């Protein structure tokens, strides 16, 4: 099922919502504007006056009045293995091979026991074999140089990384603000 991209009044994306929640925003008259194709139409009852059936449709991108910014300031987006593996295009940072998600792991460039943080700038995707070989060492100590550097995805890229079924118009909207250095462009 398609998810609906919610944005604030300025068009800055906030989060994905299910169609039912989007329809609720329409019913509560909280949608300021919308873009994209119609994703779903819900039909209600019939009017006693006109005999017409009520209906609400939602487009793929909706601006919510009074939307709360879910990523205020310079906070990093939530780090998950799925988002990390997507950011790194399922490519091991050490051997350069592409793997299925079940064969990947999160590697801490600076190991946690050496005060390395579990943050976007200190983690890369590694195949299980390379992660075991590297062990609790830095890439330099293990003589396993990184093939690419970690980075923090911006809000637009992070929303792409969260959703595996993005509609074309949603992708076009989000990609306009994805930095050129992003692996999503490759």
Q: Can you tell me the mean pLDDT for 13-19?
A: 94
- What is the pLDDT, as a whole number, of residue 67? 60
pLDDT band per the 50, 70, 90 thresholds, residue 72? low
The H-or-E segment that residue 173 falls in is helix 168-175
pLDDT band per the 50, 70, 90 thresholds, residue 186? low
- What is the pLDDT, as a whole number, of residue 77? 87
Indicate if the pLDDT at residue 78 is higher than 80. Answer: yes
Q: Can you tell me the mean pLDDT for 36-53?
A: 92
Tokens of 76: 């990093």
Residues 81-134, CATH architecture? Orthogonal Bundle (1.10)
Domain boundaries, the chain: 1-71+155-186, 81-134
- What length is written for the chain? 186
pLDDT band per the 50, 70, 90 thresholds, residue 38? very high
């Amino acid at each position: 099922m398609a998810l609906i991209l919610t944005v604030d009044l300025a068009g800055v994306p906030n989060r994905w919502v299910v169609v039912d929640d989007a329809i609720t925003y329409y019913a509560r008259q909280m949608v300021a504007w919308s873009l994209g194709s119609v994703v779903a139409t819900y039909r209600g009852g019939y009017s006693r006056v006109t005999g017409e059936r009520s209906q609400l449709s939602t487009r793929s991108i909706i601006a919510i009045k009074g939307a709360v910014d879910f990523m205020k300031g310079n906070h990093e987006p939530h780090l998950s293995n799925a988002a990390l593996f997507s950011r790194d295009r399922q490519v091991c940072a050490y051997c350069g091979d592409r793997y299925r998600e079940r064969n990947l792991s999160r590697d801490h460039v600076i190991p946690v026991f050496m005060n390395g943080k579990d943050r976007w700038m200190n983690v890369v995707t590694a195949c299980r074999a390379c992660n075991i070989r590297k062990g609790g060492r830095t890439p330099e100590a293990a003589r396993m140089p990184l093939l690419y550097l970690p980075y923090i995805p911006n809000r637009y890229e992070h929303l792409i990384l969260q959703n595996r079924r993005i509609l074309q118009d949603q992708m076009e909207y989000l990609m306009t603000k994805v930095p050129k250095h992003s692996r999503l462009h490759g």
